[in-house]
Amino acid sequence: MTKIAAIVVTYNADRNNWIQKCLVSLFDSDVAIDVIVVDNASKDNTCNIINSQFPDVTLISSEKNLGFGGANNIGLETALKKGCSHFFLLNQDAWVEKDTVQKLVTLQDKNPEYGILSPLHLSGDGKKLDFHFISSASYSKCPDLCSDFILGLNTDRIYETENVCAAAWMLSKKCLELVGGFSPSFFHYAEDNNYIHRLQFKGLKAGIYPKVKMYHDRDTRTKNNQYSNKEFDLNNIYLLKLLNPKETFTTSQLIKLLRKEALKSLLSRNVADFKMKNRQIENFKKKKNDINFNLSASKKGSYPFLNL
């Protein structure tokens, strides 16, 4: 029996009518959806809005910010316990058209090798592709989609891609059984890249179905410097390599590499880079056991990282 859950992670989502647009679009869908919101300790009016305007939502309020992956894992656990068969992850600042969810579910049932299906990601005003989605639809990541669009060919098919942002993902139950939830090694950003690495390791595919749409209002979002700097980005790049089941790169090798780079920075009198490399060395030494455990967990067992 088909039972669909939509999972929305919120954090201060009452800006720009985000949460209203998101939830209204889900409830206006052509198919019945069990909507689950996991709030990451919002400091604004998000929870009050949901409670007063959307009484049919299952709202789970966390006392602390669990990050994107951690909060989605709680939503996925809740949906699985409700007996759901399909799990649609949608960002708080995004909304879908009436047929988006239904068509993704129907297509996934016909093509079970696709553990993840994503719609076309547009900007909030719908006038262009979302700027992060462009890389997913690029010739290097998804050559057939790029060519078919440019040549005006029929695009009523699934296009396999190496990566697609988790702002709008349809996950199958088979996918959750094999791949599980998001790795706790990632707090914010790169957790979706890691998930697709693990998906591919388990023999499943990620695909884009461009005949349905999602609108992502990220152009109006204020940049958070905590998650937008060189050190943070590099740490996630290293984590992605360390936690890719197909890679053989180890934490010990990374620490050795960082020590060499720190020495080079010291010799070139780049004090800022030297300090950054030493912070990274201490960070990965501290996280070494957790990284090894999470890598091992992602390779074996059912429902890794989901507390069922």
Amino acid at 75: G
Structural domain includes residue 268 = yes
pLDDT of residue 228: 67
Nearest to 263 by CA among 252, 273, 251: 273
- List pLDDT tens digits, range 97-126: 999 999 999 999 999 999 999 999 999 999
Q: What percent of the chain has pLDDT over 70?
A: 97
For 193, counting Cβ atoms within 10 Å of its Cβ (0-12 exposed, 13-18 middle, 19+ buried), the class is buried
Give dist(CA 163, CA 83) in Å, integer: 28
pLDDT of residue 287: 97
Could you tell me the two tokens for 198? Answer: 């693990």
Structurally, the chain folds into a number of domains equal to 2
Structural domain includes residue 306 = no
Structural domain includes residue 156 = yes
The whole domain housing 275 covers: 225-299
Q: Can you state the angle between helices 191-201 and 230-242, rounded to 10 degrees?
A: 10
Structural domain includes residue 53 = yes
- List pLDDT tens digits, range 160-203: 999 999 999 999 999 999 999 999 999 989 999 999 999 999 99
- List pLDDT tens digits, range 255-268: 999 999 999 999 99
Nearest to 245 by CA among 205, 206, 288, 202: 202
* 54 and 142 together in one domain: yes
- List pLDDT tens digits, range 222-244: 655 555 689 999 999 999 999 99
Q: Is the pLDDT of residue 48 over 90?
A: yes
- List pLDDT tens digits, range 287-296: 999 999 999 9
Structural domain includes residue 32 = yes
Helical segments of the chain, H only: 18-27, 46-53, 67-81, 100-110, 133-136, 143-151, 173-179, 191-201, 230-242, 251-267, 271-299
Measured over the CA atoms of residue 76, residue 81, residue 84 and residue 85, the dihedral's sign is positive
- Quickly state the pLDDT bin for 73 (edges 50, 70, 90): very high
Which of 189, 220, 251 is where one domain is finished?
220
Mean pLDDT of the chain: 95
* 249 and 289 together in one domain: yes
* 92 and 127 together in one domain: yes
* 200 and 233 together in one domain: no
Nearest to 106 by CA among 143, 67, 49, 156: 156
Structural domain includes residue 307 = no
- Quickly state the pLDDT bin for 150 (edges 50, 70, 90): confident
* 149 and 290 together in one domain: no
pLDDT top residue among 229 and 69: 69
Q: Is the pLDDT of residue 50 over 70?
A: yes
Measured over the CA atoms of residue 214, residue 140, residue 160 and residue 72, the dihedral's sign is negative
